[in-house]
Homo-oligomer: A and B are copies of this chain.
Amino acid sequence: MPTPQNPADATAMMPVPAFAAHDHAHCTADALTRAEAVTAAAGLRLTPVRRRVLEILLEEHRALGAYDVLARLATDGFGNQPPVAYRALEFLVEHGLAHRIQRLNAFTACTHPGEAHAPAFLICRTCATVAEAEAAPARAALDTAAAPLGFVIERITIEAMGLCPKCRDASA
């Protein structure tokens, strides 16, 4: 028995090989479908702007700045002022459909929407591709380090910079 840790975690955490070749059209469509399911289940509204922002983020496994997103929105006929982008991004992040990458001041679509997961991010310094890895083991290690100091961890940010397999091969 797979013992899911969370009611929302009916499916196992499937690795999304952002670095590897994959059927990205399916990857994108699937993420959108899940996003609709997640929002509907929570009584939230995946409005046109929000949905379009998610689509934009999903186009590539990279992180986009809010102003990059905004420029895309503007050409689509949506508003072209910063809050339009920031609000949609905030909504997506708040409900687990996107993540903020602190090191890049940028945003990326979640590759596991609807699944319970604590993401750590692997960011290629050459091609800027972002992949999600499971942060739970690292978090456990940190809890161990924090406990003797009396510090209670609530949220954690883990971002690893490095080289993805493709760029590693290219530079070799």
A residues in contact (CB < 8 Å) with B? 15, 17, 19-20, 102-103, 120, 122, 124-125, 131, 133-135, 137-142, 144-146, 149-165, 168
Q: What copy number does this chain have within its complex? A: 2
Task: Tell me whether B162 and A159 are in contact (CB under 8 A).
Answer: no
Task: Tell me whether B102 and A151 are in contact (CB under 8 A).
Answer: no
The answer for the CA separation of A144 and B134 in the assembled complex, in Å, is 10
Residue of B nearest to A122 (CB): B151
Residue of B nearest to A158 (CB): B158
Task: For the complex formed, measure the closest distance between the CB of A171 and the CB atoms of chain B, giving whole angstroms.
Answer: 10
The answer for the CA separation of A134 and B149 in the assembled complex, in Å, is 12
Complex contacts, A120 vs chain B, CB 8 Å: 142, 145
Question: Considering the complex of A and B, which 9 residue pairs feature the smallest CB-CB distances, nearest first?
Answer: A150-B165, A137-B141, A138-B138, A102-B102, A133-B145, A138-B141, A154-B162, A153-B162, A153-B160
Task: Tell me whether B131 and A160 are in contact (CB under 8 A).
Answer: no
Task: Tell me whether B156 and A157 are in contact (CB under 8 A).
Answer: no
